[in-house]
């Protein structure tokens, strides 16, 4: 990532992740890292920033590293997904063209401030599953 503070603001404000640990490995050629945790699922991610001339500090190119981050809302109604999508855009994410309106309300993808894809998906609600079952048995 190019700006650790900006990324931290984005991931904590837009996605609700919590900082659980921080570290500084610049003394041996590394960088700064921050571990984040999703309070709902307990899953963790780590953000890393490397200074110029760090042995790990290479310019990001699509396909060179992480493909995307994927978050699942669980069994949630379509309006919940639409709300998260709008919140990500307000927080500085950029649209990719995959939004609730273009995916029948099942998922949305955005680019974070550094251009990393974030996908938010949802499972069908109990009512939606029942409707699918009824439609499939007719």
Check residue 131 and give its pLDDT.
80
Same domain, 81 and 114: yes
Structure confidence at residue 22 (pLDDT): 97
Find the domain containing 45 and state its range.
1-59
CATH number at residue 129: 3.10.180.10
If asked whether residues 29 and 70 sit together in one domain, one would say: no
Same domain, residue pair 47 and 75: no
* Residues 37 and 71 grouped into a single domain: no
Q: Are residues 127 and 78 in the same domain?
A: yes
Angle among Cα 47, 49, 50 to the nearest 5 degrees reads 145
Residue 73 and residue 130 in one domain: yes
Number of domains in the chain: 2
Which pLDDT score is estimated for 61? 64
Residue 26 sits in the same domain as residue 86? no
Mean pLDDT of the chain: 87
User: What's the pLDDT tens digit per position in 40-69?
Assistant: 888 899 999 888 877 777 666 655 666 678
Q: Say if CB 32 and CB 24 are below 8 A apart.
A: yes
Cα gap 24→80, rounded to integer Å: 37
Buried b (16+ CB within 10 A) or exposed e, 123-136: ebeeeeeeeeeeee
pLDDT at 68: 78
| pLDDT number for residue 72 | 86
Q: Which residues of the chain have pLDDT under 50?
A: none
Say if residue 29 is in the same domain as residue 67.
Answer: no
98 and 43 fall within a common domain: no
């Amino acid at each position: 990532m190019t700006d650790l503070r900006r990324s931290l603001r984005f991931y904590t404000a837009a996605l609700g992740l919590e900082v659980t640990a921080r570290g500084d490995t610049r003394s041996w050629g590394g960088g700064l890292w921050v571990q984040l945790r999703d309070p709902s699922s307990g899953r963790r991610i780590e953000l890393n920033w490397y200074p110029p001339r760090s042995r790990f500090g290479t310019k990001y190119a699509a396909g060179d590293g992480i493909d995307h981050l994927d978050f699942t809302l669980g069994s949630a109604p379509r309006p919940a997904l639409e709300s998260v999508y709008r919140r990500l855009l307000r927080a500085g994410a950029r649209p990719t063209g995959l939004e609730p309106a273009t995916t029948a309300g099942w998922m949305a993808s955005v680019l974070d401030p550094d251009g990393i894809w974030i996908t938010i998906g949802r499972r069908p609600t109990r009512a939606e599953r029942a409707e699918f079952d009824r439609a499939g048995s007719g």
